[in-house]
Structure formats: structure tokens, C-alpha cells
Amino acid sequence: MITGASGLLGSNLALFFRDEYDVTGVVSAHAVDIPGITILKADLTNRRECRKMIREINADIIFHCAALANIDLCEDDTALAELLNHHMSQNIVESVLGTACKLVYVSTDAVYEGTQGGYSETDIPSPVNYYGRSKLFGEQEFLRKPGSLIARTNFFGWNVQDKEGLGEWVINRLVQGEEVKGFQDAFFTSLYTFDLGRILEQAVKKDLYGVYNFASHTSFSKYEFAVNIAKNLTISEQLVLPTSMTQHAFRAPRGVNLSMNVSKLEIDLGMQLPTFEETIRHFIDDYTKGLPEQILAYSAPASPRYISYGCQSINQDDIDEVSSTLRSAYLTQGPKVAEFERGISHVTQSQYTIVTNSATSALHIACLVSGIQVGDEIITSPITFVASANCALYCGAMPTFADIDPRTYTIDPDEIAKKITAKTRAIISVHLAGQSCDMKKIQKVVREAEKKFNTRIFIIEDASHSIGSLYNGKPVGSCEFSDMAVFSFHPVKHITTGEGGAICTNDEQLAKKLYRLRSHGITSNSEEFVYQDAAFSATSDGKKVKNPWYYEQIDLGYNYRLTDMQAALGVSQLDRLTAFQSRRKEIIRQYNNAFRTIQTLTIPFQSPDCDTNFHLYILLWDFDAIRKTRAQVMGALREKGIQTQVHYIPVHVQPYYQEHLGTRWGQHPKAEEYYQQCLSLPLHPSMSGADVERVIKSVKELSI
């Protein structure tokens, strides 16, 4: 049995072994049809499915080749790496414990630190990236099964899927006369997959077990590797250009010298392993015989990876934090909630943070503590999620709308000034896509209106999209120009608690009331008690002490509490906020560079007052110019596995608002014009480089 039979190594090993052995290849998603090999589909990360599959196959030997080998993706999505490189291995081992099945685990040279090179099996593994760590975890699982063989290796060969490994990439560029850059300071001892298959076969026949380095007898730099391929193809070596790893911005750290010593394996096999030159020559010989085309023919068309417009990123640290809380004494109303609140206050530089079960709940109680009631008005943007306006309706008040700034798509302070009346009690400014509204000007408009109408108008920032953003050099949520700021932790936002929200404020009295309204209007704070006589008892020495059971409901509140499990996830996610922000900015730069010169597209404008941690990447499209409707564009992108979304349908044209509040199309022309053109592209840290390139390529094809 060979796992990962649709991968480069798994498919190559299946072809090597098929002439002499009964081979079953297991795939997860990508379909292949290799003559002479039984192909079965299974999700080996599912313990029950894995055990059922392995027992049905009843293999004498299992070669475990399936893995997540994209080093940068492993670093970005450690939870996925943990699942595919560790837990899948655990499932396989537990399925064969107590049986005679021989296990062979294909590991990696990345378990070594990669500083000195020439690593032997006695050197202590010290991986510098999560890929190496997750593969090392897999090794440890396989060593639980007596007689297992761990093959630490590095290989090159032929993909059965439509993508390129290192060797293929070099060949394909050179034969097209293109220049190839090779790292002069990165060394490895790689093997051609079919040479690796031959050596693995000999090792299994000799019943070797434990850890061995499976590599070439000599080492090359990546530059020398490419030069040697050029020589074997009789192509000018001048096409191979030397470069340094320091000139490439890898997201994950890499070892510079991962060469391995193979003396132990050579002694136990009684043979010398191929030199790097020899293994490259075998690779080129098969290339000239047309083997890569033959292998590609075995691939069935694969569905592209689905790219959602927004997505959470959960890693093992997040899982461990939640698991630890599940094993603690508190599942709700415990210490993790307070820890999460402190973390948000630290990020936002606010005095107080009150977390809630959703941002909608947060907006509701923010309106309540502002004293909003029947007959009052609030002003907000029509370009927002409906909760920004609905929170006024929950209080019996009337939401009204001020049009947007056509550059930032956020509420226009000048339009707010036109809408303020003697009934206005709050402005809810919406920081669309993560970009702050012009809060300084909004505050100025409000202060002038307060003097004019002799009233108090609260400023509430709907910052649901904006944690990590800066305005005027300070974090959004610092409330320098507002009374409160509300955040959302829905899975598509920057950080997630599943569902969840928070309110930041610098006003102690507002904070106290928010805490109460979050939890039924109840307080256990003796300073807030109304009935002091009932709250306290006298001790024998005449002192008064608070009765331990006593509490009071002093407001009509709600159960808007966040659980400790959710808060634990939030605590862990806050630790990753900077990394998330960095990845989002990298994707934004790639999008902006790709689209800024396309006449039918308008990239997002960023105010010089803002350093925006973009939650959404909103393009404006000239659908008339490209002779396609928005629905057609979204449908075409969906067929390519790319989800897009519209943010948002203007609230004032929603049926409920038109029917009950009398709002109509034509009332806010700038918002309506924006709506007709907007379309949000995928933007989240879990996107790989290939994902971003696919989005760019697809959008370019549709925008001309």
C-alpha cells in the first residue's frame, strides 16, 4: 500500500513497484488512473475511515508518502500541517499495531537544523520550520510500531498532477531557453524518485528498521543541481544564474545545508548509493524516453482548490488553548474572558474592553448605554451589514443614513452634518473593509451639533472590520474620537472566536453599565447595590460583610456573554494578529500591483490618515466596459473555484427598511453607485501564493 499515490513520490514509487508487487495506491482528492495499480480513495485523517481502509487492503508493507510538503503553507497553517503530517501518521500506526505489517515512513531532511550539513542519524533533529517539526512528529508516531523504517530523504521526480517539482521546473525552463536562478548557498543530497524506490526496496528486503538517511552519496548546491541538468541536456550553462537564499523572501525559515551522510545505510545495504551526478543522469535519461508525459497521462482532471472570500486560520496553538480551557474548572464566566479582554485593550490601547457573544450584541448594548430609546435617531452608513442599523431598531429608535465618501466607501462627515437633528442621539460610523472613517472630522461635526441642539450625541465606531488598523497613528479602538468602538470575531474577520464581539471604551461609567447589560443587568459589585441592608450582614465584632450569595439586578440586561472556550481561542488568535496582518498586507500588495493599471478596475483607496489592516479587498468593476454583469463575473470565478462576495447591499433598500421606514432607491446616490460596481476578492492569511496567483490570473482574464 502506498499513501499519497497522486503525489510526486507516491505515484513514482507505485510505478516502480507495480511490475513485481501487488500495489494499492491511496489518494484523498486528486484522481489518478495508473495501469496495473489499484487506486482507492480515502480520507486517512479520519481515524475510522483510515482503520477500515487499511484492514480491507491488509497490506504486507505500507509506504507512507502522503504529506503536506509546502513549507510556507505549513508555516502559515500549522493546524493543517499537524493534521496531515502528524495525525494522519498516528491514524496509520494505530491501525496496524499488533499486526505483522511493515511500515515505511518517508520523512525529510528538514528535520535537521540545516547549518552544518553532513548530518548523520545520530545527530539530534532540530527543525527550523513547522514542516520539519510536523514530519518529526510523524516519525515519532511510526517508531511506536516495532520494525518500522524511517527514511529521511530529499527527492525529485515526475508529477502526475499538473504542477512542477524542483527538477521539472529546472528542465522546463531550460528547454524553453529561459534563465534559471539557483541558490549557491543551499546544499542538499537529493535522489531521483526511481533510485529512491530501488534503495527502499533493498532496505525492506534486508528488513532494516529505525532511522536511516536515504540520499545521494555526494551533495550539490541548488545552483550546481541546475547546472548539472543543463550539462546533461547539452544546454548552455549560462542560462543558470547563481543567487543567494538571502535574496528570496521565504515566509518560513529554511536550513541552508541539509546534506546528509549515508554511511550507515551504505554499510547495512552493502552498497554505495548513487552520487548526485548519477541520480541526475538517471532523471534525464527517463526524461528523454518520455516518462514525464506518460506519468501525466495517468492524471484525471482535478477540481481546483476552492478559495473562499474569507476564512479563519486555526493552528495547533489555538486548539491547545481551547483544549486546556475545556479541561479547566471554567467553561464560562471564568478567567479566560478577562484575559481576552485585557488582550484586546492592549491591542487597542483602550481603558476597558467588554466582550460579548457577537458584535451585533455589542452594538445593541452600546446603544442602550447611550440612552437610545423610542423617538430617538441614530445616523449610520448605508454601506454596512444590517446590524449597524438594526441596533437602533432594537431600542425603538429610528436609523437614518448618511451617504458615503466615494473614495473610501466610508460614511462622509459632511453628509452626517446634513442629517443631524435635535433627535439624533448617536452616530455609528462604519470602518468598511478595515479602513477607519475620518473620526476627527466626525467628532468635530458632532461637537458643533451638540452645541447647536443643546444635546448629547454619542459616537460609536462599528470597527467590526478593523482590529489591527491605525488611524492618526493610534489603534482603531483607542476611542480617541469616540465614546465606544465595537469589534467582531466572526470566522471571516481578522481573528475569530467562532462568534463573538467586543466593545472598547475609556469611560468607566459606560464600562460598568456595559458589563451589567452583558449579563442580565446583574451586578455583584457592592458599590452598585441599591439595597445595602439586604446586601450586608454584621459580624460578631460589629463589622459589615457582604453576604456571599447576594447580587442585584439593577438594569434590564441580556445574556450576551462569551464563553471561556471562545475567549481562549481569542487569546491565542490575538497572538497571531501581527502575522495575520503581515500576510494580508502581502496579498494586498500583490493584488494592487496586478490590478492598478487595468482601466476597468479600481483598486481600494487608502487614506493617508490610516494604516489599514484590510479585512476585505473590494474592487470596483466597470461591468459595462467588460460587457459582463456582476453575476456573470461571480459565476465565472466560482467555476474556477474562487468565491467572491458583495459588501454590501445598501441597508436602506432592504425590503424591511423600505416597507417599515419608507426608505427608497435614489436617497443615497454615492452608496448606490458604489454598490453597483463593488466585488470583494478572497483575502485571508490561509491563502497560498498559488491561490493569490490564481485569483489574479482569473480576474485579469475577466476584466478585459
In SS3 terms, 339-403 reads as: HHHHHHHHHHCCCEEEEECCHHHHHHHHHHHCCCCCCCEEEECCCCCCHHHHHHHHCCCEEEECC
pLDDT surpassing 80 at residue 426: yes
Considering the domain architecture, whether residues 506 and 532 belong to the same structural domain is answered as: no
Average pLDDT of the chain, as a whole number: 95
Cell numbers given for 327:
479541561
Cα-flanking dihedrals φ and ψ of residue 552, to 5°?
A: -135, 140
Considering the domain architecture, whether residues 560 and 547 belong to the same structural domain is answered as: no
Domain limit, last residue, from 249, 276, 303: 276
pLDDT of residue 250: 85
pLDDT surpassing 60 at residue 381: yes
For the ranges 43-47, 471-475, 616-620, the lowest mean pLDDT is seen at 43-47
CATH number of the domain at 339, please: 3.40.640.10
Residue 511 within any structural domain of the chain: yes
CATH number of the domain at 610, please: 3.90.1150.10
Residue 439 within any structural domain of the chain: yes
pLDDT surpassing 70 at residue 301: no
Query: Which residue carries 495506491 as its cell?
Result: 25
pLDDT of residue 612: 96
For the ranges 101-105, 357-361, 501-505, 538-542, the lowest mean pLDDT is seen at 538-542
Range of the domain at 529: 523-555
| 153-172 pLDDT per residue, tens | 999 999 998 788 999 999 99
Residue 231 within any structural domain of the chain: no
Residue 52 within any structural domain of the chain: yes
Query: Which residue carries 515526475 as its cell?
Result: 158
Considering the domain architecture, whether residues 461 and 353 belong to the same structural domain is answered as: yes
Residue 632 within any structural domain of the chain: yes
pLDDT of residue 251: 86
What dihedral do alpha carbons 37, 38, 43, 46 form, nearest 10°?
-120
Considering the domain architecture, whether residues 516 and 587 belong to the same structural domain is answered as: no
Considering the domain architecture, whether residues 69 and 157 belong to the same structural domain is answered as: yes
Considering the domain architecture, whether residues 695 and 616 belong to the same structural domain is answered as: yes
pLDDT of residue 654: 97
Q: Give the count of domains, the chain.
A: 4
Instruction: Reply yes or no: is the peptide bond before residue 209 cis, omega within 30 of 0.
Output: no
Phi-psi map region of 436: left, alpha, beta (phi>0 left; psi -120 to 50 alpha): beta
The C-alpha atoms of residue 71 and residue 80 are separated, in whole angstroms, by: 12
Residue 608 within any structural domain of the chain: yes
Considering the domain architecture, whether residues 509 and 539 belong to the same structural domain is answered as: no
pLDDT surpassing 80 at residue 110: yes
> How buried is 532 (Cβ within 10 angstroms: 0-12 exposed, 13-18 middle, 19+ buried)?
exposed
Amino acid at 318: D
Considering the domain architecture, whether residues 349 and 461 belong to the same structural domain is answered as: yes
Considering the domain architecture, whether residues 518 and 528 belong to the same structural domain is answered as: no
Residue 253 within any structural domain of the chain: no
* Residue 382 CA from chain centroid, whole number: 30
C-alpha closest to that of 476 among 350, 340, 580: 350
Considering the domain architecture, whether residues 597 and 651 belong to the same structural domain is answered as: yes
Residue 324 within any structural domain of the chain: yes
Considering the domain architecture, whether residues 549 and 405 belong to the same structural domain is answered as: no
State the average pLDDT over residues 79-93: 94
Considering the domain architecture, whether residues 502 and 602 belong to the same structural domain is answered as: no
pLDDT surpassing 70 at residue 302: no
